[in-house]
Structure 1
Amino acid sequence: MKKFLLLALAVVFAAALFVGCAPAGEETSSAPSESASAQTDTDSQSSAEDDSLQKIMDKGEFIMGMDVSFPPMGFKDEEGNLTGFDVELAQAVAEHMGVKVNLQAIDWNAKEMELNTGTIDVIWNGYTITPERQEQVLMSEPYMENAQVIVVRADSDINSLADVAGKTLGVQDGSSAEEAVNADEEFASSIGKTVKFDNNVMALMDLANGQVDAVAVDSVVADYYSAQTPDTYKILDETLAPEEYGIGFRKGDEAFMNAVMDALKEMKEDGTAAEISNKWFGRDVTTF
């Protein structure tokens, strides 16, 4: 009996030694690491939190904030209807997504606030991509190229940026044209006086009436008005800054943004984007 007991104890002791000497990796191989578990939890949380697309689909529309005095991108026609390149592009995107677009006129100088407070769902109306704006909103990839130019009266003796020195320059308040002027310190310091306007239409009207000597504006706007009234305006050959247009979304709304960009790329493939672009510009200006 005593021998049997000693034998049993020896077996238990040997088993304990075997377990104690097992490699450390074998003991933890069946359980995920804390970092892996944390990453999985974070990914799941991010996926669950980004319900931006689902919210749009549930309400059946997205609200597009726009400057209604920015032809040919977005403006009111003679009958008071909102139209323009960006308007028709957004309407086609909404149709591809199976929702509607609600066009909302906003104060362009407060566009980021309107977006981040939920008054609108996107900023889409000749919205130039800049580092400052990328800090405030989730910016899409570019869909169109543009530049900032100087427009003067057709009979003006201003023929270069240097000739604007000491003159009165008009800009839309809060616009990328204003940012481009301020970014060129040498040019900005040479200007005699800067006058800010609520929109480009008012700025160009005051230019035609002689209230300002020049206006800094997007090239697409300058080209449009020059085509409409060829004997009224002249566009300087020198540009202030090349740039690209994008669509602004709220930070964290990646799902909604991706759905919009997917729709745009579908429209590029099926010819819808080219058709809209040809209507407004006579060629396909889209870059997505």
Structure 2
Amino acid sequence: MKKKILLLLSLLFVLVGLTGCKSITKSANSEDTWNKISRKKEVVVGLDDSFVPMGFSKKNGQLAGYDIDLAREVFKRYGIKVSFQTIDWSMNATELRNGTIDLIWNGYSITDQRKKKVAFSRPYLRNGQVLVVKKNSGIHDFAQMKDKTLGMQTGSTAEQWYESKQKVLKAKSTVLYDQIPNSFLDLNAGRIQGILLDEVYANYYIAHMAKSSDYRVIENKAVPADLFAVGIRKGDKTLRKKINASLLALQKDGKLEQLNEKWFNRKSNYLGK
């Protein structure tokens, strides 16, 4: 009898714990946290610190990048400090929901799949997905990957697009990576024959490589363009309004355009509307 009572009590504790966890998660995802952030004067941004040129760690360990600069400019208008938290990119929505971070801000593209879990700010940058191969591979278009191995980052827009019903790119097999630099190591070693990734990353990363001429960046008009925006909890309506207002002000005063010139040496990625 005692054993049965103990078993029932154990089950009750488990159920109560699960219910509590669900309530906490639901609350964290639905709460408007602007008052807490403004009182604390700090907001936490989650990022993959290897994603050049949006947010990355330099050799001295300091963070730099387009989104680093932009986030600081956005919250400087409200007197709020931005703290950056490195996360497992494949778990970004979970980290946001759990309250580990307040925002996902690191070359984060708006997709229908992501809209189910997070809210988005107004977009601020155009982007697209490209295929990177070695020039000596003989590969000149997406179709030539049909009997090859393709690399992508786990949880990336590239992976989401590839796994959709698109018919433009179908490789023989795929390999997923936690960070994109690891895929370049495998590309150089011949373990994969192509990498599907963000255009902004590909162009910047290759331009800063010692043997940049060894690579070919392949575009395809059938691949839809995507837009970078800030990922926000759905309950954070005030935070979303504050970010949107600041982004609009930065666009009007030319600061967004200056950031494009600084990080891309061009204005073509600038959203402009």
TM-score band, normalised by shorter chain: 0.7 to 0.9
- Asked if structure 1 preserves the Cα contact closer than 8 Å seen for 2:129 and 2:219, the reply is no
Match of 1:164 in 2: 145
Partner of 1:207, secondary structure, is helix
Matches within 5 A, 1:261-276: 261-276=244-259
Tell me if 1:232 matches 2:208: no
Tell me if 1:88 matches 2:72: no
Return the TM-score normalized by structure 2: 0.83
4+ aligned runs moved over 6 Å, structure 1: none
> What CA deviation, in whole Å up to 9, does each residue of 1:175-231 have, x standing for no partner?
11011111244355x411100100111112221222210000000011112322321
Matches within 5 A, 1:111-126: 111-126=92-107
Q: What amino acid is the match of 1:231?
A: S
- Asked if structure 1 preserves the Cα contact closer than 8 Å seen for 2:46 and 2:105, the reply is yes
- Provide the identity percentage: 36
Tell me if 1:194 matches 2:177: no
Question: 1:50 offset after TM fit, Å?
Answer: 6.3
Match of 1:207 in 2: 187
* Mapped partners of 1:135, 1:170: distance in 2: 26
Question: 1:237 offset after TM fit, Å?
Answer: 3.0
* Mapped partners of 1:82, 1:231: distance in 2: 27
Match of 1:24 in 2: none
> What CA deviation, in whole Å up to 9, does each residue of 1:150-190 have, x standing for no partner?
100122201111100110100001111011111244355x4
Partner of 2:160, secondary structure, is helix
Question: 1:257 offset after TM fit, Å?
Answer: 0.9
Tell me if 1:78 matches 2:59: yes
Q: What amino acid is the match of 2:117?
A: Q
Relative to 1, partners in 2 of residues 1:255 and 1:274: Cα closer, same or farther, differing over 3 Å?
same
Match of 1:256 in 2: 239
Say which one has the larger Rg. Answer: 1
* Mapped partners of 1:86, 1:210: distance in 2: 32
Question: 1:80 offset after TM fit, Å?
Answer: 1.5
* Mapped partners of 1:130, 1:197: distance in 2: 20
Q: Which moved more, 1:234-243 or 1:77-86?
A: 234-243
Q: In the comparison of the two structures, how many residue pairs are matched?
A: 239
- RMSD value, Cα: 1.6
Relative to 1, partners in 2 of residues 1:185 and 1:275: Cα closer, same or farther, differing over 3 Å?
closer
Tell me if 1:173 matches 2:157: no
